[in-house]
Amino acid sequence: MAPVVQSSQPWVEKYRPRQVKDVAHQDEVVRVLTNTLETANCPHMLFYGPPGTGKTTTALAISHQLFGPELYKSRVLELNASDDRGINVVRTKIKDFAAVAVGSGSRQGYPCPPYKIIILDEADSMTEDAQNALRRTMETYSKVTRFFFICNYISRIIEPLASRCAKFRFKPLSEGIMSSRILHICSEEGLTLDSEALSTLSSISQGDLRRAITYLQSAARLFGSSITSKDLISVSGVIPQEVVQAVFTACKSGDFDVANKEVTNVIAEGYPVSQMLYQLLEVIVNNDDISDEQKARICKKLGEADKCLIDGADEYLQLMDVASHTIRALCGLPEELRFD
Amino acid sequence: MMLWVDKHQPRALDKIIAHEEIAQNLKKLGRSPKTLRQVSVHDCPGLLFYGPTGSGKKTLVMALLKQMFGPGVEKASSHHCLFSFLLWLDVKLENKMWKIDTGTHWIELELTMLLSTHHVDMNPSDAGFQDRYIVQEIIKEMARNRPVDTKGKKRVQRLVIQICVKQPKLDEKKMTIKFLELLLVLVLNEVDKLSREGQHSLCRTMEKYSASCRLILCCNSSSKVTEAVRSRCLNIRVNAPTEEQIIKVLEFIGKKENLQLPPGLTARIAAHSNRNLRRAILSFETCRVQQYPFTVNQALPPLDWEQYVSEIASDIMKEQSPKRLFSVRGKIYELLVNCIPPGIILKKLLSELLKKLDSELKHEVCHWAAYYIDFNVQILGEVLARNLTCVL
């Protein structure tokens, strides 16, 4: 007898909902799309929202449900950032695909409406030119083609495209729904997860279900079937609270060298500095001993440092700069050195 | 004759001294499964190793690969043995030309990569601003060329079943090895230097070809890797080894090399190394070359450019005048001519200056260093001008 091969897929793929009605927490979208399934009529759609909230899943599920496995290949074109999507592709590939006329008539219980679907995943990484080239295409072939745009930031989609679509915002998942999903996966995979670990998991993943599942799988691979909240923290890259506190205390002491030592240590331990900035921000905002003005000064600097990091600045220097500004803010030193 | 760094690089996860805990965890990940039911390598997501330089990321990756694919890969060696691990993983170094059709024109890219039957090791950021094409085209093509395609799950299943049917005597362990043979591991270095587009394309590639290929990413700072990539990977933080761990490693090497170690020497090397293991071992070897048998208070050879930078720092401290600025500028250009990266010079100079300044100025100097590090080489001179005015 041939042995059963365990699925080689990551759990994120394995537990991706296959049907629109299984998509968690996005009631509005689900209602509209279920309606679509019944009437087989749908507008152009634009899904936006933070990562891991089910945008791609919904788009894939609806196209599968509309066309079924047989027609899926010929009716759905899925393009994402890993495919080249310059203006040329829009002019040739997308246009060609959009232009083909298709017949209607349901088959094998699938509605199979008389149009094709083009899914443009991660549409916010398309160039503006490419988006502009799409405008006319969308209108010309609107009889036979529907576009699904998926993006994180709606502001990066040009207005003419956005106004042609029905927009749906995907909300970050609430803790309750996240927990129930996680528990479902745990029972399927035979994992034990205590309530503390569960709440840690939903707090570190911040409403991103994909991240939560990835952490869970990583932890399961590394630490076996019973997972504690410490294991989850170690795989997630969140910095332990003690380390953040140590940096904050060093800044509070007002001694530059102490802070320097602490920062050097953070860098040597390899903690991601952008994460450090976030957690430092939380500590500072929630601290009652600091006056509002001081908080404002520090937060301004944190923001600047975060921007610099995204632009590719050096981690050590940025963190050091933040630390030095924090010291100055906390000890009431002037922000700029005055030359008398 | 090999450098000690390469010669004593641990070859197996068991032999790793500095990161025992991580190694043990990786071992669980890379364990050859006893039955097909626990093909653990398969449903693990991609791996992202991050940590400062010289902390042992690459060593861990290579040891993990060996663990995954077993000693089977360790046979004939190739002729281009630049690195020691080429010898034990049966890897060859290849310079490949790629012609890529971007739609409007063809571009040609040359990329050096290390290849074995099971893994490809490369540095996509070498391609500069065209790194996107490397990720999109090359990785795609490699992943596609494996016997498993995008709908790989079923085919793998079928293949394994075929193997079982044809060779019923094959025991389960051998079968898993066959199974593993279908998997390709891509090791990408310096992903933090990849452009935004490059990282974007990486995300989807990772998901799409998850059945046939696994990505192992290495980088120095995970802040520069986008959230999207990070959330798709198992993040492994490789911290710089502590001084005690460095001492342990140095003593281990000393024993292997049959050296007489005077007390305190290893501790001094470790303290001098800035928690960089590679640097510690290199300076240990330099000591050995310089003078053996070791003496108790043997001088550690400082790097000449570091010495030069600290000279510059003391120059700045001594006198602040346009004339001094001019001479400092000359010295900095000399460093740049010798190919020391400006960022490194600036950081070193900062740390030297911080030792000497009074506390109020420390803040100021630190601020300007952070401000100027993004800028170009040319501006370094101006940084100094600023520093000088600060000190004035």
Residues of A whose CB is below 8 A from B39: 5-6, 8
Residues of B whose CB is below 8 A from A86: 102-104
Looking at the fold, whether B69 and B10 belong to one and the same domain comes out as yes
Nearest-CA distance B384 → chain A (Å): 16
Does B164 map to a domain?
yes
CA distances from A133 to A130, A137, A138, A161 (A): 5, 7, 9, 10
| Stated pTM of the model | 0.72
pLDDT (0 to 100) of residue A137: 84
B-chain residue closest to A256, CA distance: B359
Does B382 map to a domain?
yes
CB neighbours of A300 closer than 8 A, spacing ≥ 6? none
Looking at the fold, whether B214 and B337 belong to one and the same domain comes out as no
Question: Considering CB atoms only, which of B103, B203, B224 is closest to A86?
Answer: B103
* Best of B26, B35, B43 to mutate (most A CBs within 10 Å, chain A): B43
A-chain residue closest to B180, CA distance: A8
| Spatial distance between the Cα atoms of B219 and A306, rounded to a whole number of angstroms | 19
Residue A322: Cβ within 10 Å count: 27
Looking at the fold, whether B118 and B211 belong to one and the same domain comes out as yes
The answer on pLDDT for B39 being more than 70 is no
User: Residue B348: which pLDDT band, with cuts at 50, 70 and 90?
Assistant: confident
pLDDT (0 to 100) of residue B74: 42
A-chain residue closest to B351, CA distance: A260
Burial B331-352 (b: 16+ CB within 10 A, else e): ebeebeeeebebbebbbbbbbb
H or E stretch covering A117: strand A116-120
Q: In what order do the strands lie in the sheet with A76-79?
A: A76-79, A116-120, A145-151, A45-48, A166-169
| Spatial distance between the Cα atoms of A171 and A191, rounded to a whole number of angstroms | 28
| Spatial distance between the Cα atoms of B224 and B210, rounded to a whole number of angstroms | 23
Burial B45-72 (b: 16+ CB within 10 A, else e): bbbbbbbbebbbbbbbbbbbbbbbbeee
Only one residue has tokens 């394995």, namely A14
Residue ranges of chain A assigned to CATH 1.20.272.10: 241-330
Looking at the fold, whether B208 and B336 belong to one and the same domain comes out as no
Does B296 map to a domain?
no
Residues of B whose CB is below 8 A from A337: 360-361, 363-364, 390
Top pLDDT among A55 and B90 is at: A55
Q: Range with the lowest mean pLDDT among B151-155, B212-216, B342-346?
A: B151-155
pLDDT tens for chain A, residues 1 to 340: 233 334 456 788 888 888 888 887 788 888 888 888 888 788 899 999 988 888 988 998 888 888 888 888 888 888 876 566 677 777 788 888 888 877 776 677 777 888 888 998 888 878 888 888 888 888 888 888 889 999 988 898 999 888 988 898 988 888 888 888 888 888 888 888 888 888 888 888 888 888 888 888 878 877 777 888 888 887 777 888 888 999 999 888 888 888 888 888 888 888 888 888 988 998 888 888 888 888 898 999 999 988 888 777 788 888 988 998 888 888 877 766 665 5
Nearest-CA distance A83 → chain B (Å): 7
Nearest-CA distance A24 → chain B (Å): 20
| Spatial distance between the Cα atoms of B237 and B242, rounded to a whole number of angstroms | 14
Tokens of A160: 């003419």
Only one residue has tokens 């042995």, namely A3
- 3 state DSSP class of B163: helix
Contact B264, B251 (CB under 8 A): no
Burial of B271 (0-12, 13-18, 19+ CB in 10 A): middle
Q: Do B36 and A235 touch (CB under 8 A)?
A: no
Residues of A whose CB is below 8 A from B172: 3
How would CATH label the architecture of A241-330? Up-down Bundle (1.20)
The percentage of residues in chain B with a pLDDT greater than 70, rounded to a whole number, is 67
* Nearest Cα residue to B118 out of B184, B182, B68, B193: B184
Looking at the fold, whether B189 and B162 belong to one and the same domain comes out as yes
> CB contact, 8 Å: A339 with chain B?
yes
Residue ranges of chain A assigned to CATH 1.10.8.60: 175-236
Q: Do A312 and B222 touch (CB under 8 A)?
A: no
Question: Considering CB atoms only, which of B140, B200, B343 is closest to A125?
Answer: B200
Nearest-CA distance B166 → chain A (Å): 11
| Spatial distance between the Cα atoms of B278 and B252, rounded to a whole number of angstroms | 14
> CB contact, 8 Å: A19 with chain B?
no
> CB contact, 8 Å: A298 with chain B?
no
Residue ranges of chain A assigned to CATH 3.40.50.300: 11-169
| Spatial distance between the Cα atoms of A84 and B41, rounded to a whole number of angstroms | 30
A17-20 contacts: CB < 8 A, separation 24 or more? A17/A54, A17/A57, A17/A61, A18/A61, A18/A64, A19/A61, A19/A65, A20/A58, A20/A61, A20/A62, A20/A65
Which residues, in sequence order, are bridge partners of residue B108?
Answer: B99
Compute, in degrees rounded to 10, the torsion defined by CA atoms B304, B306, B308, B309: 170
Residues of B whose CB is below 8 A from A308: 370, 374
Looking at the fold, whether B233 and B329 belong to one and the same domain comes out as no
Q: Do A324 and B28 touch (CB under 8 A)?
A: no
Does B298 map to a domain?
no
**B345-354 average pLDDT score:** 82
Interface of A with B in 22-81 (CB under 8 A): 51-52, 80-81
Nearest-CA distance A88 → chain B (Å): 7
| Spatial distance between the Cα atoms of B91 and B76, rounded to a whole number of angstroms | 9
Nearest-CA distance B301 → chain A (Å): 23
Q: How many Cβ pairs within 8 Å bridge chains A and B? A: 207
| Spatial distance between the Cα atoms of A309 and A316, rounded to a whole number of angstroms | 10
A-chain residue closest to B364, CA distance: A337
Looking at the fold, whether B200 and B273 belong to one and the same domain comes out as no
pLDDT tens-digit map of B225-244: 887 787 777 788 888 888 88
Does B295 map to a domain?
no
Which CATH number covers residue B64? 3.40.50.300
Does B230 map to a domain?
yes
Contact B137, B100 (CB under 8 A): yes
Does B110 map to a domain?
yes
Contact B216, B60 (CB under 8 A): no
B-chain residue closest to A124, CA distance: B200
* Best of B22, B29, B137, B224 to mutate (most A CBs within 10 Å, chain A): B224
| Spatial distance between the Cα atoms of B310 and B322, rounded to a whole number of angstroms | 20
pLDDT tens-digit map of B272-327: 888 888 888 888 888 888 877 777 777 777 778 888 888 888 887 787 777 887 88
Question: Considering CB atoms only, which of B231, B275, B374 is closest to A211?
Answer: B231
CA distances from B264 to B19, B274, B288 (A): 23, 17, 15
Nearest-CA distance A35 → chain B (Å): 30
Q: Do B164 and A86 touch (CB under 8 A)?
A: no
Contact A64, A107 (CB under 8 A): no
Q: Is the alpha carbon torsion for A66, A69, A75, A81 positive or negative?
A: positive
| Spatial distance between the Cα atoms of B56 and B265, rounded to a whole number of angstroms | 22
Q: Do A6 and B43 touch (CB under 8 A)?
A: yes
Which CATH number covers residue B309? 1.20.272.10
Does B38 map to a domain?
yes
Q: Both ends of chain B: CA-CA distance in Å?
A: 53
Looking at the fold, whether B223 and B267 belong to one and the same domain comes out as no
pLDDT (0 to 100) of residue B174: 54
> CB contact, 8 Å: A84 with chain B?
yes
How would CATH label the architecture of A175-236? Orthogonal Bundle (1.10)
pLDDT tens-digit map of B19-31: 877 887 777 765 5
Looking at the fold, whether B226 and B260 belong to one and the same domain comes out as no
Q: Do B366 and A318 touch (CB under 8 A)?
A: no
Counted domains in chain B: 3
H or E stretch covering A301: helix A292-310
A11-169 CATH fold: Rossmann fold (3.40.50)
The separation between CA B42 and the C-alpha centre of its own chain, rounded to angstroms, equals 24
Looking at the fold, whether B360 and B311 belong to one and the same domain comes out as yes
For residue B191, what are the domain limits? 4-237
Residues of B whose CB is below 8 A from A236: 235
Residues of A whose CB is below 8 A from B198: none
User: Residue B76: which pLDDT band, with cuts at 50, 70 and 90?
Assistant: very low
Tokens of B366: 């630190």
Residues of B whose CB is below 8 A from A333: 360, 363
* Best of A82, A327, A336 to mutate (most B CBs within 10 Å, chain B): A82
| Spatial distance between the Cα atoms of A219 and B102, rounded to a whole number of angstroms | 40
Only one residue has tokens 């080429």, namely B86
The separation between CA B275 and the C-alpha centre of its own chain, rounded to angstroms, equals 15
Question: Cα angle at B29 between B26 and B33, to 5 degrees?
Answer: 135
Question: Considering CB atoms only, which of A5, A121, A315 is closest to B223?
Answer: A315
User: Residue B384: which pLDDT band, with cuts at 50, 70 and 90?
Assistant: low
Nearest-CA distance B292 → chain A (Å): 32
Looking at the fold, whether B222 and B272 belong to one and the same domain comes out as no
Q: Do B363 and A313 touch (CB under 8 A)?
A: no
Residues of A whose CB is below 8 A from B36: 3-6
Residues of A whose CB is below 8 A from B350: 317
Average pLDDT along chain B: 71
* Nearest Cα residue to A311 out of B208, B314, B262, B224: B224
Q: Do B28 and A236 touch (CB under 8 A)?
A: no
Looking at the fold, whether B232 and B264 belong to one and the same domain comes out as no
